Amino acid sequence: MGELRLKRNIQHSLYDYLQDALDDNWSGINVVLTWEAAMESARPVVCVLLESTESKGKELGSNNLFETHLIIIDIYAKSSGQALDLADFIKNEVKGGFPYNVYSHPSGSYETLEATPTGRVKTLKFLRDETIDLGENMDENDLFRHTIAITVRV
């Protein structure tokens, strides 16, 4: 079995966590991992993307790194009210962190992932929680879009 690396594990952990939370509390919300999938999915859609990683030396004389990861959660809703409600719900769900899983796939199968709980991802900071307004040139897909940006660490 091949294991995914840290960044993909974090992204998939949040994807699974939000999928379960949304399924338990909402109906008809699609959760995806890429903007391309978000554009192809029926609204409402929540897109989870690990955008970047900042690495700093953990301690003097060591090659160990202290890494923080920027995650973007884009909400593509059917109305402005739905976008705000989903944003509040998601923010409340992730503020305390979420379970960290290590994902692997059986040999020869890249479509089925197996999750092994391995710890927690801590939410460090909310950087953005805002409605996206692109003005007159706004694409129909962005009409009721909201974005949340958080930094996390395992």
Q: Which domains does the chain possess?
A: 2-153 (3.30.2000.10)
Q: What is the pLDDT of residue 133?
A: 73
Q: How confident is the model at residue 4 (pLDDT cuts 50, 70, 90)?
A: confident
Amino acid letter at 134? L
Q: What is the pLDDT of residue 111?
A: 73
**67 φ, ψ to 5°?**
-115, 135
Q: What is the pLDDT of residue 41?
A: 93
Q: What is the pLDDT of residue 54?
A: 86
Instruction: Report the SS3 class of residue 140.
Output: helix
C-alpha distances out from residue 33 to 66, 77, 115, Å:
25, 16, 16
Joined together, the tokens standing for residue 120 give 């927690």
C-alpha distances out from residue 143 to 27, 34, 83, 116, Å:
21, 18, 10, 38
